[in-house]
Chain A
Amino acid sequence: MDALKVILLLAWRNLWRNHRRTIIMVTAITTGAWAMIFMTALMRGMVNDMIRDGLRALPGHVQVHHPDYRSDPSVTNRLHVDVAEIDAAFAAAGIERYSVRVRVPAIISSERESRGVTLVGIDPRSERRIGAVGGDIVLGHDLEGPEDGGVIIGRSLADKLETEIGKRVVLMSQDPDNEVADRGFRVVGLFAANLAAQEEMFVFAGRETLQQMLGIPGQASEVAIVGDDYRDVAAVTAAVRRALGDEDEVLPWQELDEYLGTMLSVMDGFVLVWVVVIFLALSFGLVNTLVMAVFERVREIGLMLALGMRPSSILGQIIIESLLLLVLGLLIGNALAFLSVIPLSDGIDISIVAEGMEMFGAASTLYPELIMSDVIMANVVVLVLGFFASLSPAWRASRYEPVEAITKV
């Protein structure tokens, strides 16, 4: 313990023998740590925005479908359980934030145009509970209930169909017997989305109205469940599987939307690569500083060995010097990163590049997001790699022959 104290004392004092060199190195580590954490927060903010937007299109961190529904989303591939059974099972399991939908491919026709769309029959109250379409209605109003006879369409689709609020459209799909099922609806609201493609793809109608049109009373094709955090859906997925059994397919959003899921994985990998690249740049300075510090003290190291300090203690001293430098730089860098992110919690206006960002589904305001696991990873990577970078100079110092080192001029 005392030996460790003397090693720590020597390491700390040796750091400040050359103030200038230490300050430059600490500044470099501080800048690196700040850049790692701040830039990661920006990237996280951007990706979170993209993923949340993607999930908002048809919310549900976890969704339940007929096993064949994803390859053939027709009304034939309905859920094995009906709406009443789902409500009862979820009530028993304590799952509250969910919505049961009918979702089928359809053709929408106005007086002038026809388009292929995804027709979604919803209960607007349960959709609102999971944070869905109601909040994005820019003109008109939301559906009033599952029995509502109106439809909500995207702003862009309305333009394409040359229709507007109050006008009638006809929606046509297939019933379970492959017969044409159609019905006239009045447009009651227009919704907006970040991507025009989403505005053109989805049409929302009352679930019961649609069940009636398709001849599937009380039945549905999709259940969407929302958890507390889109990153951690394993528990929700397991709870839904327990509640509904094995007949239908219960999948988390990463598997339902592989693009979004992959984007999150890529982002995680990118953060690690980013942190490692910054560290590699830093490591040259760190190793150089340590090598210089060792070269300057060859005699002193020889003396300590001659007086009976073990080579392992010399190794420890140089490594501790390196870790002290890193810890000092990381502490300041972390503090600066937090201080930089907090004032930006209201978002950074990036509307100047908004059009480009929209291509990727990102919004024109960027909300940096500090995630503890990213901060911890950046710090751990720097400390662990810093430890390895310092091994070479430390090893060299510990291998000195005391009699040669002590006579070095």
Chain B
Amino acid sequence: MTAVRCIDLCKTYRQGDQDIKALDHVTLDIGDGGFVCLSAPSGGGKTTLLNAIGGLDLPDSGEVWVAGERIDRLSKGELAERRLHNIGFVFQAYNLIPVLTAKENVEFVMQVQGVPAADRAAKSLAILDEVGLKGLEDRRPAEMSGGQQQRVAVARAIVSRPALVLADEPTANLDSKTADELMELFVLLNETHGTTFVIATHDKRVMAYAKRLIKMLDGRIVDDIAQGSS
């Protein structure tokens, strides 16, 4: 089964007088349980592709299919619904909600999904334990380190067991030890739960964890390499 299918995606941004092709006829299939890294220099199109797959940004042309459903024609509300139930996001900056504690941040998505309170509490405590944040449940983002915040963001992304996790430079603000721990966590989740990961990065250590490495340049896929997982 195909988790993600992109067909002939094009996206052009206007910057000053210049048109910049962020996606230039990108076609891509990612199977269920894939662990894929999108690698490109800055401006290469990896974040734009990730956003298109996540329904955060619409392509100018082409088709985006996620879990067998074409999503590029859905309304804003429908896209929000798909993101809520099917996709977990990890962003470069930690992007936690500052007024909520670690536990509340993790529960946020489930709460919007309508998961019962007891269920939410049990799942959020378990996932925080799993990402190594036991005892920090009641801390607010400002009271945690960068690594801890990113772990909370990962916990939030995976707690409702989405089929697909999209991560944009998830290790960019982490030291190497924390980055390794985070990637090992991703691998573990991929192997134990079959979660599909698509990670945009230009960090070679992150790429080393991928089963498949897709290289992009100027909005085009220039290389698609199958790798053995480390």
- On A, residues with C-beta under 8 Å from B are 1-3, 5-6, 9-10, 13-14, 17, 299-300, 303-313, 401-403, 406
B140 to A, closest residue via Cβ: A13
Can you list 24 A-B contacts with CB-CB less than 8 angstroms, sorted by A residue number? A1-B114, A2-B111, A2-B112, A2-B115, A2-B117, A6-B111, A10-B100, A13-B99, A17-B98, A17-B99, A300-B97, A307-B112, A307-B156, A308-B81, A308-B87, A308-B109, A308-B113, A309-B80, A310-B81, A311-B80, A313-B112, A402-B56, A403-B56, A403-B57
Question: Cβ of A1: which chain B residues have Cβ within 8 Å of it?
Answer: 114
Tell me whether B85 and A308 are in contact (CB under 8 A): yes
Nearest-CB residue, chain A, relative to B160: A308
- The distance from the CB of A370 to the nearest CB of chain B, in whole angstroms, is 38
Q: How far is the CB of A11 from chain B (nearest CB, A)?
A: 10
> CB-nearest residue of chain B relative to A405?
B56
**Could you tell me if A310 and B77 are in contact, using CB atoms closer than 8 angstroms?**
yes
Q: Which residues of B contact A (CB under 8 A)?
A: 51, 54, 56-57, 76-77, 80-85, 87, 89, 91, 95, 97-100, 104, 108-109, 111-117, 156
Closest to B83 in A: A308
Q: Nearest residue in A to B78 (C-beta to C-beta)?
A: A310
In angstroms, Cα B87 to Cα A9, docked, is 24
Contact of A303 with B56 in the complex, beta carbons under 8 Å: no
- Complex CA distance for A300 and B97, rounded to whole angstroms: 6
Closest B residue to A303 using CB positions: B95
Closest-CB distance, B137 to chain A (whole angstroms) = 16
Question: Within the assembled complex, what's the spacing in Å between the Cα atoms of A10 and B85?
Answer: 21
Interface centre among A17, A305, A306, A309 (most CB of B within 10 A): A306
Chain B proximity of A373: nearest CB distance (Å): 39
- Pair A5/B81 contact, Cβ less than 8 Å: no
Q: Identify whether the interface residues of B are mostly helix, strand, loop, or mixed.
A: helix
Chain A residues positioned under 8 Å from B83 (CB to CB): 306-308
Q: How far is the CA of A306 from the CA of B79 in the complex (A)?
A: 9
Whether B51 and A403, one on each chain, are in contact in the complex, defined by CB atoms closer than 8 angstroms, is: yes
**CB <8 Å contact, A307 and B51:** no
Are B89 and A307 in contact (CB-based, < 8 A)?
yes
- In the bound complex, how far is the Cα of B57 from the Cα of A177, in angstroms? 97
A residues in contact with B99, CB < 8 Å? 10, 13-14, 17
Determine which of B54, B104, B112, B115 lies in contact with A306 in the assembled complex, contact meaning CB atoms within 8 Å: B54
Is A5 a contact of B111 with CB atoms below 8 Å? yes
Give chain A nearest CB distance to B55 CB in angstroms.
9
Set of chain B residues within 8 Å of A403, measured between Cβ atoms: 51, 56-57
- Nearest residue, chain A, Cβ from B52: A403
A307 CB contact (under 8 Å) in B76, B84, B98: B84
- Which residue from chain B places its CB closest to the CB of A308 in the assembled complex? B84
CA distance A14 to B115 in the complex (A): 23
Contacts of B104 in A (CB 8 A): 9
Looking at B82, B99, B156, the one whose CB has the most chain A CB atoms below 10 A away is B99
Closest to A304 in B: B97
A308 to B100, CA, bound (A): 17
Partner of A299, one of B95, B109, B112, B116: B95
Instruction: Report A295 CB to chain B, min CB distance, Å.
Output: 15
A2-B117, A10-B99, A13-B100 as given contacts; A309 in contact with B56, CB under 8 Å: no
Q: A303-B95, A306-B83, A308-B83 are in contact. List 18 more A-B contacts (CB 8 A).
A: A1-B114, A2-B114, A2-B116, A5-B111, A6-B111, A14-B99, A303-B97, A306-B54, A306-B89, A308-B81, A308-B84, A308-B87, A308-B112, A308-B113, A309-B112, A310-B77, A310-B81, A403-B56
Q: Which residues of B contact A312 (CB under 8 A)?
A: 77
Question: Given A299-B95, A306-B54, A306-B83, does the pair A311, B111 have CB atoms closer than 8 Å?
Answer: no
Among the listed B82, B85, B114, which residue makes an inter-chain contact with A3, where contact means beta carbons less than 8 Å apart?
B114
Tell me the minimal C-beta distance from B120 to chain A in angstroms: 8
The closest CB in chain A to the CB of B82 belongs to A308
Nearest residue (CB) in B for A312 is: B77
Give chain B nearest CB distance to A400 CB in angstroms: 11
Q: How far is the CB of A375 from chain B (nearest CB, A)?
A: 34
CB nearest to A398 among chain B residues: B76
A3 and B111 contact, CB distance less than 8 A: yes
CA A402 – CA B87 in complex, angstroms?
15
| Chain A residues whose C-beta falls within 8 Å of the C-beta of B85 in the assembled complex | 308
- Taking CB atoms, residues of chain A closer than 8 Å to B77 are 310-312
- Docked Cα-Cα span, A118 to B108, in Å, equals 79
Min Cβ gap B66→A in Å is 13
Q: What distance in Å separates the Cβ of A5 from its nearest Cβ neighbour in chain B?
A: 7
In the complex, residue of chain A having the shortest beta-carbon distance to the beta carbon of B84: A308
Residue in B76, B91, B108 whose CB lies within 8 Å of A311 = B76
- Docked Cα-Cα span, A350 to B29, in Å, equals 86
Chain B residues with CB under 8 A of A306: 54, 56, 83, 89, 91
- Judge whether B108 and A307 touch: CB under 8 Å: yes
Closest to A399 in B: B76
Shortest A12–chain B CB gap in Å is 9
Give the chain A neighbours of B98 by CB distance below 8 A. 17, 300
Closest to A305 in B: B80
Which partner residue on chain B sits nearest A12 by CB separation? B99
B101 vs chain A, min Cβ distance (A): 10
A404 to chain B: closest residue by CB: B57
Chain B residues within an 8 Å CB radius of A313: 112
Q: In the complex the two chains form, what is the Cα distance from A201 to B161 in whole Å?
A: 90
Given the complex of chains A and B, what is the CA–CA distance between A9 and B108 in angstroms? 11
> Chain A residues with Cβ under 8 A from B108's Cβ?
6, 304, 307
Q: How far is the CB of B191 from chain A (nearest CB, A)?
A: 25
A17: chain B residues within 8 A (beta carbon): 98-99
Instruction: Tell me which residues across on chain B come within 8 A of A304, comparing CB atoms.
Output: 97, 108
Residues of B within 8 A of A402 (CB): 56
Cα separation A305 to B87 with both chains bound (whole Å): 13
Enumerate chain B residues within 8 angstroms of A310, measured Cβ to Cβ: 77, 80-81
